[in-house]
Amino acid sequence: MSERKVVVVTGGSRGIGAATARLAAREGWSVCLTYRSAQGEAEGVVADVQAAGGEALAVRADTAQESDIVALFSTVDERFGRIDGLVNNAGILDRPMNVDAIDGAALTHMLAVNIGGCFLCLREAARRMKARGGSIVNIGSRLSELGGAGGFVHYATTKGAIDSLTVGAARELAAEGVRVNCVSPGVIETDIHETTGIAGRAKTLSTQVPMNRPGTAEEVAEAVVWLLSDQASYITGAKLNVSGGR
């Protein structure tokens, strides 16, 4: 069994997940980071962690597929023999669609990744953590409360589910020593905005941010890794906005 605490970070190849994996490793966690297609970038994060003296493993797992999630956690069992943390980060944004023009197949896929994948990863982690405690951080979004009007209601709706999952799972698992919290990023400068097809989206949106700039993946990672840690030992069911005041 690994001597260090082990955290699984889904979607750890890029953006917020990659920054979280790097910071968690610096804080002494062994990290299992997952990716769907960006193997080279995921292996690059692993190399960075190892070069800094940490332990990391990259595993391909499409979180829209339950079988991939089950296999991922089996790999963690075999490789590390324990799991102490989960960062439910893998998520997609997609192109804008108004509510009266939603594409059914795109909506179904988004629900599968942004809700189903997080729920099933939480299930697998909770089954293993129940005996010995653990900490789960779900990555939501400020849009769960802002609503996403203007093309992103589908995405905002999936993040509303993350808010509910956080509160419900936190209360259900509290007596088992498992904490569940949510970090809600605002506008963060990552690749995810490119999938909307709107050039410069993060910069444009930052005019709506009181701090007048987009956040960085590293700023979100700081909040995530703190909630994962024992320093947040009496915090469960909480939502922490990392959004520059938006």
The two three-digit tokens of residue 147, written as one number = 């609503």
Per rule CB under 6 A, is residue 185 in the interface with ligand NDP? Answer: yes
Per rule CB under 6 A, is residue 84 in the interface with ligand NDP? Answer: no
Given 8, 15, 165, 227, the residue binding ligand NDP (CB under 6 A): 15
Given 7, 8, 13, 129, the residue binding ligand NDP (CB under 6 A): 13
216-245: contacts with ligand NDP (CB under 6 A): 217
Per rule CB under 6 A, is residue 5 in the interface with ligand NDP? Answer: no
The one-letter code for the residue type at 47 is A
Given 29, 73, 80, 155, the catalytic residue: 155
- Mutual angle of helices 15-26 and 217-228, in 10-degree steps: 50
Q: Known catalytic residue: 35?
A: no
DSSP 209-238: STTSS-B-HHHHHHHHHHHHSGGGTT--S-
Task: State the number of CA atoms in the 13 A half-sphere of 103 facing the CB.
Answer: 10
Look up residue 114 and give its DSSP letter.
I
125-184: contacts with ligand NDP (CB under 6 A): 139, 141
Cβ of residue 118: shortest distance to ligand NDP, in angstroms? 8
Which residues in the chain belong to E strands, given as ranges?
Answer: 6-9, 30-35, 56-60, 85-88, 134-139, 178-185, 239-242
Per rule CB under 6 A, is residue 89 in the interface with ligand NDP? Answer: yes
Chain contacts with ligand NDP (rule: CB under 6 A): 10-17, 34-38, 61-64, 89-92, 113, 139, 141, 185, 187-188, 190-192, 217
